A and B are shown apart, each in its own frame.
Chain A
Amino acid sequence: MSSAADRRPATPMARQILEHHSLLSRARALPGEARFVLAVLTLGALVAGAGIGFLVVTGQLDGRWYDLRDLGNATAHFRGWTQRQGIHSAVPYLVTGLLGGIAILSLVGGWLVIGVWAERRLIAKFQIRQGPNRVGPFGLLQPLADAVKLLQKEVLIPIGADKLLFFLPPILIFIPAMLGWGPVPWAPKMSYADLNVGVVYTIAISSLGVLAVFLAGWSSNNHYALLGAMRTVAMMVSYEIPISISLLAIVLFTGSLQLSDIVAWQAQHNVWMIVLLPFGAFTFLFASTAEINRTPNDIGEAESEIVAGFHTEYSGMKAGLFLAVELGNALLVGAMMSTFFFGGYSLFGLERWIPGYLIMGAKTFLVYFGFVWLRATLPRFRLDQLMAFAWKFLIPLSIIQLLFVAVESMVVVQSGLPGIVTIGGSIIANAALTFVGVRAWANAIGYSPKEMASPPIMTNGVGGLRAAEQIRAAS
């Protein structure tokens, strides 16, 4: 009777992790000289941190070009310098535009690598597996190895495919995925293109990708691809509407279509939109999973039904581009979600200490983690169920919420009452709408999941049709 005791770890999991994975234990294992160097470095980092903290507190850093909490400062200083030198104003515009574009491309590229690794690793942990752990430390270089593998592979073009239209979609789908990052505010002054119609731009760009998807599905000359494309188009068309309505509610509160204004409003009122508009946040999250083809709404490329959907026929790096764009879109939705609903770069005053783009990145990856979690947990909807959910549930309730918000926003602006009263009242009203309204609406359209889940009847009997009828009658 030894095996039961042998297999269980002798110490609790938390202690094991502390003992085997903590930095302290790693440092203790180092040789003496290395430990000395490490101690000096740590001390230096602490002193430097204290010095920076002092500068930040006394406000000596504010607005300088080397104020790295907001990279927009450097740009502004550069523009001022060129003006003083008498250089044409187009030059700083072009230079910063080019630099910013490269910066966004490399940032998203780097995030993609981290995103691929994080998704595979996290899903493996959810599924009691190890996940990638061979290439590099913790398997961190696995995405690069995957990319190299995909680049080496031959790109096949099916005989029946429309050559040009088959060639275009992987490129076409990449453009809106990158353009979407333009208006994201990373810090108060740090935004690639702080458009005054940022919300409209976001909605417009997000619906461009569907063109490439449909081209890919149609030109492949494959039934699975066509089915996937049709499903994706139907989904996108349906879910644009709830997304737009939920964003409209935000715009009513903030009174601006500019993303930086929306973040500033949340920072100023010290409230995140997810608290103020829980139903709007849910709508946005759910609708975005449909837009970017992720579980539970990945019906556009439902593996168990239509193999890989619209990119069934793509191979090599072309398929890789589709997958990368999909992941990039998930990160983009994460960034949008944090901008619209999680206060963007603001963190209740802490953004004075921590660079805004770090806060923004952390929030983005938090939402991304939510997507991974969903993917590891939920089964998939059917197309008609998804459509019904949008048209019968999300859209009517979003419109009702919009009516609520229209009144509330007028009260917030015009009543002259303190913010804690008006915004607090709005929070309570919207929470009530979310929890009561959703229930009532579900009852009204006749949805009752509790009755659907019924356990089987346990019996000791044996028999055929008559026994079956008796058992059913008795239960």
Chain B
Amino acid sequence: MTTVNEPYVLNIGPQHPSTHGVFRLRVVMDGEVIRDLDMIVGYLHRSMEKLAEERTYTQNIPFTDRADYLAAMSNNLGVCLAVERLAGVEVPERASYLRVIFAELQRIASHAMANGTLVSDAGAWQTPLLYMFREREKILDLFEMTCGARLTTNYMRIGGVAFDPPPEFWPALQELLDEMPARIDEYASLVVDSEIFLARTRNVGVISAADAINGSLVGPALRGSGVPWDLRKAEPYCVYDRMNFEVPVGRHGDVYDRFMVRLEETRQSVEIIKQAVAQIPDGPHKTDIPLALRPPPGEVYGRVEGPRGELGFYVVSDGTPAPYRFHIRAPSLINLSLLREMAVGVSLPDAVVALGSLDIVVGDIDR
């Protein structure tokens, strides 16, 4: 006698501990093995792109905070760079350095969150997450010190940054930079060599380099598959061309590689901030632009390397104070599209870890 397994449908989400927000997976399962998988998004849709068409360019910056709410600084930076190129606004050098410092701080904070939740998805009882939250908390304190907000910073402006950091910012930043390498080592010692974590993540959710490029994967997910593509190197913006840093790429393209790439990027970010702090000149932190900026008619695609990958802003101007079209190329949405390749045919725990390694932010997916 043979037994036949009957496939069944499992709804993971919209409320589920490991979907990182209101995001739903409709999984067809055969026992513990996933046979098919649909990703259902849109629970957090706020119509950001349409709303943007009714507001001035400066008024649109706070929206980008809410798109990827774990990396508000990078989003601010992306939209500002795009509009500046469209309108031909010059940015003072000090503002460019400040932008680099804050974008890299945001990258550390965001990667801490990504790696922490990944280890929690692998089953650790939140300890690594809270260890990394300790550093993230200090970074958010720095943000609060500078611009008054912790998550939705709204710090970058077209033509510079909103505020010059207060005097107490610099010693606090220096203290963080001094302790950061030891903290990252401490965190790594808890997870990196853990045989259980290795067993859970090695050769799980493998994406080959060719698949990653064909699926237009970006960010740590792409570099985890071994492709050395980092916009900070490939198309330097701000003052990244003056910084000396390396790009980590993975060997196998599995979950563990993506984890390690993020960890190494955190180390490199600390180096970048150290260099920026050493080089930063005095001077104004912004140029004055008209309140209702009217860029000449035209279009621009500005992109930055956000914590989750290439973050693009496609802005079309018709010469009025509001953009004619405002599109956000969200890294989370594009990265998520490869989940199906990784998850079909493996068991549920592997799919959860693979989803965690993509580091999605639902605000970024739905906008």
Contacts and interface: CB of A to CB of B under 8 A. Distances in A.
Interface of A: 1-4, 7, 123, 126-129, 223-224, 227, 231, 295-296, 298-299, 302-307, 375-385, 449, 452-465, 467-469, 471-472, 475
B32 A472 contact: no
A352 B209 CA distance: 69
A296 B196 contact: yes
A382 B349 contact: yes
A467 B228 contact: yes
A458 B223 CA distance: 11
A465 B197 contact: no
25 contacts: A3-B175, A123-B127, A127-B131, A223-B10, A295-B124, A296-B123, A304-B120, A304-B121, A304-B352, A305-B352, A377-B190, A381-B200, A449-B193, A452-B202, A455-B264, A456-B223, A456-B224, A458-B264, A459-B228, A459-B246, A460-B246, A462-B230, A465-B213, A467-B227, A472-B251
Given A456-B264, A457-B250, 17 more contacts: A3-B168, A295-B123, A296-B196, A304-B18, A304-B120, A378-B124, A378-B194, A382-B347, A383-B347, A385-B199, A453-B198, A454-B251, A462-B230, A462-B247, A463-B227, A463-B228, A471-B226
A286 to B, nearest CB: 12
A467 B120 CA distance: 33
B200 A468 contact: no
Given A3-B171, A463-B228, A295 B348 contact: no
Contacts of B213: 464-465
Contact of B228 (A295, A307, A468): A468
Contacts of A299: 123, 349
Closest 9 CB pairs of A and B: A380-B123, A456-B248, A304-B18, A379-B122, A458-B246, A127-B130, A468-B209, A468-B226, A379-B124
B347 A384 contact: yes
Nearest to A382: B349
Interface in B173-201: 174-175, 190-200
Q: Considering residues A379, A382, A384, A453, which has the most beta carbons from chain B within 10 angstroms of its beta carbon? A: A379
Contacts of B32: 227, 231, 383
A128 to B, nearest CB: 6
Contacts of A376: 125, 127
B251 A475 contact: yes
Nearest to A127: B130
A231 to B, nearest CB: 8
B251 A456 contact: yes
B352 A462 contact: no
Interface in B251-268: 251, 257, 260-261, 264
Interface string B334-367: 0000000000000111101000100000000000
Contact of B122 (A4, A224, A298, A380): A380
Interface in B233-250: 233-234, 246-250
A383 B168 CA distance: 51
Contact of B127 (A1, A127, A469): A127
A385 B350 CA distance: 12
Nearest to B265: A456
B229 A464 contact: yes
B175 A379 contact: no
Nearest to B268: A458
Contacts of B261: 456
Nearest to B29: A223
Contacts of B18: 304-305
A7 B225 CA distance: 42
A455 B228 contact: no
A385 B198 CA distance: 12
Nearest to B252: A454
B51 interface: no
Interface of B: 8, 10, 16-18, 29, 32, 119-127, 130-131, 134, 168, 171-172, 174-175, 190-200, 202, 209-210, 213, 223-230, 233-234, 246-251, 257, 260-261, 264, 347-350, 352, 356
Contacts of B121: 304
A123 to B, nearest CB: 7
B228 A462 contact: yes
Q: Considering residues B209, B210, B264, which has the most beta carbons from chain A within 10 angstroms of its beta carbon? A: B209
B126 A127 contact: yes
B347 A457 contact: no
Contacts of B175: 3-4, 7
Contacts of A460: 233, 246-247
A380 B200 contact: yes
Contacts of B122: 304, 379-380
Given A223-B8, A456-B249, A465-B210, A379 B264 contact: no
Contacts of A379: 119, 122-124, 191, 194, 196-197, 200
A382 B210 CA distance: 29
A449 B229 contact: no
A121 B192 CA distance: 26
Nearest to B245: A460
B73 to A, nearest CB: 22
A383 B8 CA distance: 19
B17 A303 contact: yes
A468 B246 CA distance: 15
Contacts of B168: 3
Contacts of A3: 168, 171-172, 175
Q: Considering residues B32, B191, B352, which has the most beta carbons from chain A within 10 angstroms of its beta carbon? A: B32
Contacts of A378: 123-124, 194, 196
A265 to B, nearest CB: 35
Contacts of A304: 17-18, 120-123, 352, 356
Nearest to B244: A460
Given A296-B123, A456-B257, A468 B249 contact: yes
Nearest to B19: A304
Contacts of B251: 454, 456-457, 472, 475
Contacts of B172: 3
A128 B134 contact: yes
A130 to B, nearest CB: 12
A302 B228 contact: no
A306 B12 CA distance: 9
Given A4-B175, A227-B32, A307 B17 contact: yes
A439 B23 CA distance: 44
A375 B192 contact: no
A460 B121 CA distance: 32
Contacts of B127: 123, 126-127, 376-377
A457 B249 contact: yes
Contacts of A457: 226, 248-251
B195 to A, nearest CB: 5
B260 A455 contact: yes
Nearest to B232: A462
Q: Considering residues A224, A303, A381, A382, which has the most beta carbons from chain B within 10 angstroms of its beta carbon? A: A382
Contact of B193 (A224, A231, A453, A463): A453
A169 B99 CA distance: 59
Nearest to B191: A379
Given A3-B175, A458-B246, A128 B131 contact: yes
Contacts of B17: 303-304, 307
